Structure 1
Amino acid sequence: MTYDILANEIYNNNIDIIYMNFMGSFKGLYGDNVIAIDSKIDTDAERCCVLAEELGHHHKTSGDITDQTKIENRKQEKIARNWGYEKLVGIADLINAYNIGIRNKNDLAEHLNITEQYLEESIQHYKEKYGLYYEVDNYVVYFDPLGIAKHF
């Protein structure tokens, strides 16, 4: 998904996007139908990853969860991140990439317009959710190592 498509979806949900210089390690924040993105992020792929997670906060979490020393806040953060992973790296997206000939993680991340780190985190999410593999239609998607097999 391109950054522009995701940004349009966000605007269509009546959420504003603002860009600002963040101090510390935050790259994005969500609150009161506003997503703030660190203006120092220099690639569309990384912006897209941050936007997806913050949109996950819009859909799945509530309140101020910036204090990550609290277990409940960490749980909500994980819920939002997982929502973002499934938004940008769906199982169908992995299968479609396989079907057009993409065979390595670098090309896959580029095709999905995400960072390689985000791809790795997405794969880890699916591994936690489904185990070592997931079967759908005539495909088996393996998560460790990442691979796809098609049944005939």
Structure 2
Amino acid sequence: MLNDLLDEEIKNIGVTLKTCAFKNDFNALTVDDTIILSNKLKDTAERNSVKAHELGHQYTCPVNLLELEPELQRRFEYLADRWATLKVMPLEKLVSAFRRGIRLRDEFCDFLEISEPFFRRGLDVYSSIYGQRTQYKNYTLSFDPFNIEEL
């Protein structure tokens, strides 16, 4: 399960995971070696998505984002999204889901154990990496609109 894999990685890199109530609309906050999740995250898919993104910050962001100007904040947010996308929805897993008969966006989200907004951001990340489409093994993956075709 993705939840267990993310929790294990968080533990292995020496990061503490906590939950609390935020007064604002933050889903999470990373402070030094602690990831703090909002207690308002409604399900495992949402928590997985937020944890993956915050892990991305652990690997890609050496500074406090709240102290940066907006353009740099956006850049570090993208880097965290990119890391998280490659971690939890690699092309191989997308193709594996397709080979199992999964075709609809919500089915992909269920298979990957992530939220739909995270899935959409992941497709945007892939578009920025590959452009409109890419080939992986014997498949063509299109990102907008999302589609997988066997060659």
Residue 147 of structure 1, CA deviation: 1.2
- Residues 128-147 of structure 1 aligned to structure 2 (within 5 Å): 128-147=128-147
AA aligned opposite 2:102: I
Contact 2:20 2:39 in 1 (8 A): yes
Match status 1:107 vs 2:107:
yes
Sequence identity, in percent?
28
Corresponding residue of 2:60: 60
Residue 69 of structure 1, CA deviation: 4.7
Deviates more, 1:132-141 or 1:60-69: 60-69
1:4-55 deviations in whole A, cap 9, x for unaligned?
A: 2211121111111011111212111112211110112120100001100110
Corresponding residue of 2:44: 44
Match status 1:83 vs 2:83:
yes
Residue 68 of structure 1, CA deviation: 6.5
Which ranges of 4 or more aligned residues in structure 1 deviate by more than 6 Å?
none
Contact 1:68 1:74 in 2 (8 A): no
Question: What SS does the aligned partner of 2:4 have?
Answer: helix
Deviates more, 1:42-51 or 1:61-70: 61-70
RMSD over aligned CA atoms reads 1.4
How far apart, CA to CA, are the structure 2 residues paired with 1:82 and 1:111? 19
How far apart, CA to CA, are the structure 1 residues paired with 2:43 and 2:136? 33
Contact 2:81 2:121 in 1 (8 A): no
Using the size of structure 1 for normalisation, the TM-score is 0.92
Residue 73 of structure 1, CA deviation: 2.1
Using the size of structure 2 for normalisation, the TM-score is 0.93
How far apart, CA to CA, are the structure 1 residues paired with 2:69 and 2:24? 16
Contact 1:60 1:80 in 2 (8 A): yes
Corresponding residue of 2:35: 35
Corresponding residue of 1:26: 26
How far apart, CA to CA, are the structure 1 residues paired with 2:105 and 2:29? 28
5+ residue gaps, structure 1: none
Deviates more, 1:7-16 or 1:97-106: 7-16
1:62-93 deviations in whole A, cap 9, x for unaligned?
A: 11112575312221121112211221111111
Corresponding residue of 1:5: 5
Corresponding residue of 2:98: 98
Deviates more, 1:120-129 or 1:101-110: 120-129
AA aligned opposite 1:64: N
